[in-house]
């Protein structure tokens, strides 16, 4: 049998059969979180002047517009209405009011005013700039 010169060498020899385990390296950049998936509205683009109102089962898609509600809401959605607005300016007081089970999706918009959702209504913003409050009222 071989005689080891130091106690450290003996410890090292006893650890060799066990091994050190494995080292796992992660990605160098943190993973980006996926945005919540919202059903894409497959309808023709709507051109608007002023404010927008929808209700019932309506579906609207609005691109590159200025929605101005002045002293009232720029977008008002109720029932099961779905509105998708992209690359637009949405301003009013409040800017958006959603009630019932309606959904409003704002993608890369400039929003000036409060976002108000009531009941099960939902407002989603993706890449938008917002100046105002987000208010939720349940009934």
Render pLDDT for 55-108 as a digit per residue (tens, 0 to 9): 999 999 999 999 998 889 999 999 999 999 999 999 999 999 999 999 999 999
pTM of the predicted protein model: 0.65
Q: How many CB atoms lie within 10 A of CB 12?
A: 11
CA 39 to chain centre: 13
**pLDDT given for residue 41 in this prediction:** 52
Q: What tokens does 81 get?
A: 């209405």
Asked if the model's pLDDT at residue 13 lies above 80, the reply is no
d(CA 15, CA 48): 74
* 3 state SS of 22: coil
- Cα Rg of the chain (Å, integer): 28
The number of beta carbons lying within 10 Å of the beta carbon of residue 127 is 11
Residue 5 per-residue DSSP state: S
Per-residue pLDDT band at 50 (split at 50, 70, 90): confident
């Amino acid at each position: 049998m071989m005689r080891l010169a130091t106690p450290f060498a003996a410890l090292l020899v006893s650890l060799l059969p066990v091994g050190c385990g494995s080292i796992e390296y992660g990605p160098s950049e943190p993973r980006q979180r996926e945005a919540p998936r919202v059903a894409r509205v497959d309808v023709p683009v709507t051109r608007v002047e002023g404010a927008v109102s929808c209700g019932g089962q309506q579906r609207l898609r609005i691109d590159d517009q200025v929605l101005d509600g002045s002293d009232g809401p720029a977008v008002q959605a109720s029932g099961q209405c779905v509105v998708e607005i992209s690359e637009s300016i949405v301003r009013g007081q409040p800017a958006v009011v959603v009630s019932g089970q309606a959904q409003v999706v704002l993608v890369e918009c400039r929003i000036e005013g409060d976002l108000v959702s009531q009941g099960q209504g939902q407002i989603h913003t993706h890449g938008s700039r917002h100046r105002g409050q987000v208010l939720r009222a349940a009934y």
